[in-house]
Structures are given as C-alpha cells and as structure tokens.
Structure 1
C-alpha cells in the first residue's frame, strides 16, 4: 500500500521507480538497496533525493 500526502493533489504527486531513478543517476548498487529498504520500491523524487547518502556531483 502506498501512502501520500492528502494535501497534495494527485496530479502534482509523481511517483517514480526507485531502482530506475538510481540507475539513471548512476548510483551504486549498495546505495540502491539501502534506499529501497528505507523508502520502498516507489517514491517521489524528493524522497529519493533526501534519503541518498552520496548525492551525485552536479557540474555546471
């Protein structure tokens, strides 16, 4: 079962596959397993970003 904030409308709440997002951001497998354990298989992008221990480097 998936929980969401009732104050947010369903059109603004986007839920992503955690493994797919981590694969696209090239996050190592150990961090992916930890993240799936913490937030579950599906989460919002904010939940994924806030629960990463090593954030990918951003080059400007």
Structure 2
C-alpha cells in the first residue's frame, strides 16, 4: 500500500513539474512577442545581447 501511494504521489509531482515548465516556456514566448512584435529572432537575440552587455558594463 505504501508503494502505491509513493507511485501515485510521484506521478502527480511529475505532472505538476511538467505543467510548471510548460507555463514558463509559453509565458516567456508570449512576452517576447509582446515586447518585440515586429523583430525577427536574430534581432531579438541582438537586443538581449546588447542589454546584457550594458548591464555588465555599468557594474
């Protein structure tokens, strides 16, 4: 009986973790689209790279 509860809990936990990561992925993708709707993926990458280099230069 204990192993059954452990297995059932592990399945619930795995489903929870899966949907958590899925939610993070979808939210991040939508946030990129909202902030940079007309840019290509390469342009978005360049913007992130510039922003990160500016932050490190200030410190």
TM-score using structure 2 length: 0.30
Larger Rg: 2
More helix by share: 2
Greater relative contact order (Cα 8 A, min sep 6): structure 1 or 2? Answer: 1
